[in-house]
Amino acid sequence: MTDRSAALPLGMEASSRTIASPASGELRRDLRLIAEMIEPGSRVLDIGCGDGALLAYLAREKGVDARGMELSQSGVNACVRHGLSVIQGDADHDLDAFPADAFDVAVLSQTLQATRRPRHVVEELVRIGKRAIVSFPNFGFWRIRLSLLSRGRMPMSEILHNPWYDTPNIHLCTIRDFVALCDELGTRIERSVTLDRHGKPLSLRARGGLANLFAEQGMFVLSNSAGGVRPA
C-alpha cells in the first residue's frame, strides 16, 4: 500500500501540478510558437505529443480542449497520470478513426519524418483538423548538404542525431519537397515559418529558395483547400 501513503498529500496544490507538471520547465521554443498560433478555447489534437508539454500548456494557459496521441506507451502513461487526455496510437494508422473536422487544429510537431506514409498523414491531418500545424527538420539545410558532399556519409545534426541504421526518421524531406507535396495534394498553405535549430524564427519566406538552404526547420499551417480559396 505504498502508493496510498504517497497519495495522502493530494490536494489543491497537487491538482494544479497535474496540469502543470509536464510543462513545469520552459516550453520548447518551437512548441511555444505553435501555441501562439492556437486560438483560446479551441479543440486541438497533438499527434506525437510526447510527455504532453504542449497539451498541458494549451490546457492551462488557453483553456484549450487538448487531446493527444503518442506512440510510446511510457509517454502516454505519463500524460494520463498528469490528467491529460491522451491515447496510445500512431499517425499512420490511428487518424482514420476520427471524423472530418473533429478538431480546430491538428498538430504534428517533428513527427512527419518518422511516419511510414507521410503523404497519407498530411491528407488525414487536414481532414480531421480544420487547420493543421506541421513542423519538421529541413533536409535541405546547407550544413546537411555540405556534410553529405564533403564526408560522403549520411548527415547527422543536432536535430537528426541518430545514425542511419538506428533512426526513426525514415522519410526526411526538404522544405521545397514539402511545399511540392502540399501543391500536389491541393492542400492550402495558410502560413509558413522557418526556424533555426533552436526553434527561433528566421525572416525567410518558406517558398523562397533561401529558406530551403538556411532554415533548419520548417513550420506550416495547412488547411483543406476545399474549404478555402487557393492562393496564387
Partner 1 sequence: MSTVTAPLLKRPGTEWPGHSLVVSEPLRLDCGVDFGPFTIAYQTYGKLNPERSNAILICHALSGDQYVAEPHPITGAAGWWTTMVGPGGVLDTERYFLICANVLGGCMGTTGPKETNPATGEAWALDFPVITIHDMVRAQKILLEHLGIETLFCVIGGSMGAMQVLQWASSYPEGVFAAVPIAGSARHSAQNIAFHEVGRQAIIADPDWCGGRYLSLDRNPSRGLAVARMAAHITYLSEAALHRKFGRNLQDRNAVTYGFDADFQVESYLRHQGSTFVDRFDANSYLYIARAMDYFDLAAEHGGSLPTAFPGKQPRFCIISFTSDWLFPTSESRALVHALNAVAANVSFVEIETDKGHDAFLLHEPELFATLRGFLTGSAEQRGLMRFWD
Distance of alpha carbon 146 from alpha carbon 56, whole angstroms:
39
* Chain centre to alpha carbon of residue 44: 12
Identity of the amino acid at 152: G
**Dihedrals phi, psi of 225, to nearest 5 degrees:** -65, -20
Which residue of 10, 148, 170, 180 would you call a contact of partner 1, by CB under 8 A? 10
Residues 48-67 interacting with partner 1 (rule: CB under 8 A): 65, 67
> Residue from 37, 87, 202, 221 that binds partner 1 (CB under 8 A)?
87
Q: Which of 39, 41, 72, 81 lies at the binding interface for partner 1 (CB under 8 A)?
A: 81
Residue of 29, 42, 62, 89 that binds partner 1 (CB under 8 A):
89
* Angle, alpha carbons 145-148-153 (nearest 5°): 155
- How many other C-beta atoms can be found within 10 angstroms of the C-beta atom of residue 133? 25
- Contact call for residue 226 and partner 1 (CB under 8 A): no
With respect to partner 1, which residue has the nearer C-beta, 14 or 170?
Answer: 14
Which of 19, 44, 122, 193 forms a contact with partner 1 (CB under 8 A)? Answer: 19
Distances (CA, A) of 224 to 99, 126, 188, 199: 14, 5, 6, 26
Residue 201 binds to partner 1 (criterion: CB under 8 A): no
Q: Which residues in this chain contact partner 1 in the complex, by CB under 8 A?
A: 1-5, 7-8, 10-12, 14-15, 18-19, 65, 67, 73, 76-77, 79-89, 94, 97-99, 102
